[in-house]
């Protein structure tokens, strides 16, 4: 089996997927195709889009065996849409579908039944968690799932690599002609950044809402000119699962130590200057870094031009304090962010393509100075795994990890050196999501490692007297405590392929034994 640029075995061809192009560096692939263009329509004055059941919408879209359907995951663990639509499709006897969701969560466990009964035979997603992830890792599907980053998904859809026949999109606030936003109504989720791509490129677009408002719903995130039908139902999601409340700051001393090192590294890096831009995660350490950075911004009178993400209430507060000029939001992570996006014109909703698609005319991750990312594992080549656990089972999501790492000037991984008895830094990660050549700094509670590709940063962080080690030294420290981790046992069967953002294959996931 041929190896890609980072030494992973990539099959040349997979039944049900086709030929695979191996990963060959973050910007090595120059696209030559044209953007996908869906069929032109003719909706006449007086035509009605409003329907009173999902079943009628499925029938109206002429969904057939073998087609591709899509969903967004802005409702997270509160999502009712995907399960309802699949139940309806199953009832109608439609089979052999490809499910191209922006991501999948534990709430989608009922999908297992629809895989067993042949309704869904292929899955494309950013990630998957819970019993469904276990089932996939145990080989329930004949064809491997495709893991795509948020930018990679937008790219694939725009390029027509992943043609969506029908998108079923939950809409927290919608009029009868298809103008929708995500920040009003009982099922509000904030940004509809993932759904925007599906709405623009799917051949048929169905909006499903529990909050039908008077025409015209202005301003709107999804436009009537992209929508075929609107379905009004009782409830599209469980508000408790959709947005979480305010994020509390960590008191974990280990996370605080990581955050202290990370903040100091950012300060020393040369990127912490007026007008800098930043993306942070939602982990305890990431949020603590943002808090430390905020303090230094006030002290040094440094203001950020924008924050990007995955927006949390913390960034909203910094926007309101005038510390950050603008927020670019593909996904609102909490209650504060989900509300702010509908109220503050400087808090700007963006599509996943604007966020991270490498093949438009310049996505916003290109303009990112600093990104803080998490990791389940990092290897001595700086490759990062955020998808499979220490048992080899899928338990995470690709998200914007490899996208922001490729775009950002300073890509920093924050992670504890060990978790329980499991080392975070290893010889070879189980699964590569983000290639090491796009990672600059790894910050742990036991020290910092800088990618040797960044001699400039090694110099700066050394000068700042930060506890620098080689990545091998960090690995040694971890193994001293945990011992060498036992290799995971896999079968030969490939259960997932991991696409890099440019459509090449960076790794595969095998069935756990």
* Radius of gyration of the chain measured on its C-alpha atoms: 22
Supply 297's token pair.
């911004």
Nearer to a second copy, 227 or 474 (CB): 227
Side-chain-side CA neighbours of 383 within 13 Å: the count stands at 21
Q: How far is the CB of 288 from a second copy (least distance, A)?
A: 26
Q: How far is the CB of 155 from a second copy (least distance, A)?
A: 8
Q: Which of 127, 283, 407, 423 binds a second copy (CB under 8 A)?
A: 407
Using rule CB under 8 A, residue 40 touches a second copy = yes
Q: How far is the CB of 159 from a second copy (least distance, A)?
A: 6
Please give the residues from 174 up to 213 whose contact with a second copy meets the rule CB under 8 A: 177-178, 205
Please give the residues from 481 up to 510 whose contact with a second copy meets the rule CB under 8 A: none
Q: What Å distances lie between residue 205 and 28, 58, 85, CA to CA?
A: 34, 10, 13
Nearest-angstrom CA–CA distance, 503 and 178: 31
Nearer to a second copy, 27 or 142 (CB): 27
Reduce the DSSP state of residue 220 to 3 states and report it.
coil
Q: Which of 359, 401, 475, 477 binds a second copy (CB under 8 A)?
A: 359
Using rule CB under 8 A, residue 363 touches a second copy = yes
Q: How far is the CB of 360 from a second copy (least distance, A)?
A: 4
Under 8 Å CB-to-CB from 232, ≥6 apart: which residues?
A: 50, 51, 52, 209, 210, 212
β 370-373/277-279 pair status: parallel
Side-chain-side CA neighbours of 151 within 13 Å: the count stands at 28
Q: Which long-range contacts (CB under 8 A, 24 or more apart) does 39-42 make?
A: 39/203, 41/228
Asked if the peptide bond before residue 388 counts as cis, ω within 30 degrees of 0, the response is no
Nearer to a second copy, 138 or 344 (CB): 344
Nearer to a second copy, 200 or 334 (CB): 200
Please give the residues from 284 up to 323 whose contact with a second copy meets the rule CB under 8 A: 305-306
Under 8 Å CB-to-CB from 299, ≥6 apart: which residues?
A: none
Q: How far is the CB of 129 from a second copy (least distance, A)?
A: 30
On the 0-12 / 13-18 / 19+ scale of CB atoms within 10 A, 69 is buried
Supply 230's token pair.
């609107």
Judged by CB under 8 A, which stretch of 120-128, 189-197, 324-332, 459-467 contacts a second copy? 324-332
Q: Which of 223, 233, 257, 488 binds a second copy (CB under 8 A)?
A: 223
Using rule CB under 8 A, residue 454 touches a second copy = no
Quote the longest CA-to-CA distance of the chain. 73
Using rule CB under 8 A, residue 362 touches a second copy = yes
Q: What Å distances lie between residue 439 and 133, 294, 453, CA to CA?
A: 27, 24, 9
Site string for a second copy, 248-287 (x = CB under 8 A): ---------------------------x------------
Q: How far from the centroid of its chain's Cα atoms is residue 106's Cα? A: 16
Q: Which of 67, 169, 192, 227 binds a second copy (CB under 8 A)?
A: 227
Three-state SS annotation for 270-286: CCCCCCCEEECCCCHHH
Q: How far is the CB of 361 from a second copy (least distance, A)?
A: 5
Judged by CB under 8 A, which stretch of 43-51, 85-93, 164-172, 446-454 contacts a second copy? 43-51
Q: Which of 53, 96, 225, 235 binds a second copy (CB under 8 A)?
A: 225
Q: Which of 2, 7, 16, 27 binds a second copy (CB under 8 A)?
A: 27
End-to-end CA distance of the chain: 21
Q: How far is the CB of 371 from a second copy (least distance, A)?
A: 12
Using rule CB under 8 A, residue 43 touches a second copy = yes
- Count of residues that interact with a second copy, criterion CB under 8 A: 65
Q: Which of 2, 7, 16, 31 binds a second copy (CB under 8 A)?
A: 31
Using rule CB under 8 A, residue 404 touches a second copy = no
Using rule CB under 8 A, residue 324 touches a second copy = no
Q: Which of 44, 251, 463, 486 binds a second copy (CB under 8 A)?
A: 44
Contact between 368 and 409 under an 8 Å Cβ cutoff? The reply is yes
Contact between 131 and 505 under an 8 Å Cβ cutoff? The reply is no
Per DSSP, which regions of 388-456 are E strands?
410-414, 418-419, 422-423, 425-426, 441-444, 447-450
Supply 189's token pair.
């989720």
Reduce the DSSP state of residue 313 to 3 states and report it.
helix
Please give the residues from 328 up to 357 whose contact with a second copy meets the rule CB under 8 A: 328, 345-346, 348, 353-354, 357
The closest alpha carbon to 441, from 418, 480, 471, 400, belongs to: 471
Q: How far is the CB of 476 from a second copy (least distance, A)?
A: 33
Nearest-angstrom CA–CA distance, 84 and 379: 41
Residues forming contacts to a second copy in the complex (CB under 8 A) are 27, 29-47, 49, 158-160, 177-178, 205, 214-216, 218-219, 223-228, 275, 305-306, 325-326, 328, 345-346, 348, 353-354, 357-368, 406-409
């Amino acid at each position: 089996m041929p190896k890609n640029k980072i030494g992973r075995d990539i099959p040349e061809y997979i039944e049900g997927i086709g030929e695979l192009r191996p990963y060959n560096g973050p910007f090595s692939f120059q696209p030559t195709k044209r953007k996908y263009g869906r069929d032109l329509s003719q909706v006449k004055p007086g035509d009605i889009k409003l329907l009173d059941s999902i079943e009628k919408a499925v029938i109206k879209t002429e969904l057939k065996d073998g087609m591709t359907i899509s969903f967004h995951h802005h409702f997270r663990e509160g999502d009712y849409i995907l399960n309802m639509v699949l139940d309806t499709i199953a009832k109608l006897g439609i089979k052999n579908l490809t499910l191209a969701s922006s991501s999948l969560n534990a709430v989608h466990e009922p999908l297992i039944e629809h895989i067993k009964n042949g309704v869904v035979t292929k899955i494309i997603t950013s990630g998957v968690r819970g019993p469904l992830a276990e089932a996939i890792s145990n080989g329930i599907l004949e064809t491997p799932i495709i893991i795509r980053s948020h930018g990679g998904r937008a790219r694939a859809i725009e390029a027509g690599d992943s043609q969506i026949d029908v998108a079923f999109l939950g809409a927290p606030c919608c009029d009868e002609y298809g103008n929708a936003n995500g920040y009003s109504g009982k099922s509000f989720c904030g940004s509809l950044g993932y759904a925007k791509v599906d709405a623009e490129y799917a051949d048929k677009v169905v909006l499903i809402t529990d909050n039908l408002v008077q025409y015209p719903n202005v301003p709107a995130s999804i436009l009537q000119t992209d929508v075929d039908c609107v379905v009004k139902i009782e409830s599209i999601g469980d508000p408790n699962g959709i947005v979480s409340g305010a994020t509390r700051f960590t008191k974990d001393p280990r996370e605080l130590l990581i955050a202290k090192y990370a903040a100091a590294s950012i300060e020393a890096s040369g990127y912490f200057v007026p007008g800098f831009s930043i993306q942070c995660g939602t982990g305890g350490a990431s949020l603590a870094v943002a808090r430390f950075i905020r303090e230094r911004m006030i002290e040094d009178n440094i203001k950020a031009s924008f924050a990007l993400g995955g927006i949390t209430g913390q960034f909203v507060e910094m926007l309101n304090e005038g510390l950050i000029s603008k927020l670019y939001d593909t996904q609102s992570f909490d209650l504060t962010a989900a509300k702010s996006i509908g109220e503050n014109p400087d808090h700007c909703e963006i599509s996943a393509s604007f966020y991270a698609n490498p093949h438009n005319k310049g996505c916003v991750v290109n303009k990112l100075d600093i990104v803080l990312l998490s990791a389940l594992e990092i290897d001595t080549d700086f490759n990062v795994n955020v998808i499979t656990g220490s048992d080899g089972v899928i338990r995470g999501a690709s998200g914007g990890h490899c996208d922001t790492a490729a775009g950002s000037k300073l890509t920093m991984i924050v992670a504890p050196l060990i978790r329980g008895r499991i080392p975070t830094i290893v010889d070879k990660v189980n699964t590569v999501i983000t290639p090491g050549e796009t990672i600059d700094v790894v910050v742990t509670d036991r020290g910092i490692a800088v990618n040797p590709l960044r001699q400039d940063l090694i110099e700066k962080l050394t000068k700042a007297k930060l506890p620098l080690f080689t990545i091998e030294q960090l690995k040694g420290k971890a193994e001293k405590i945990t011992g060498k981790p036992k290799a995971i046992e896999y079968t030969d069967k490939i259960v997932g392929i991991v696409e890099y953002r440019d459509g090449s294959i960076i790794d595969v996931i095998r069935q756990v034994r």
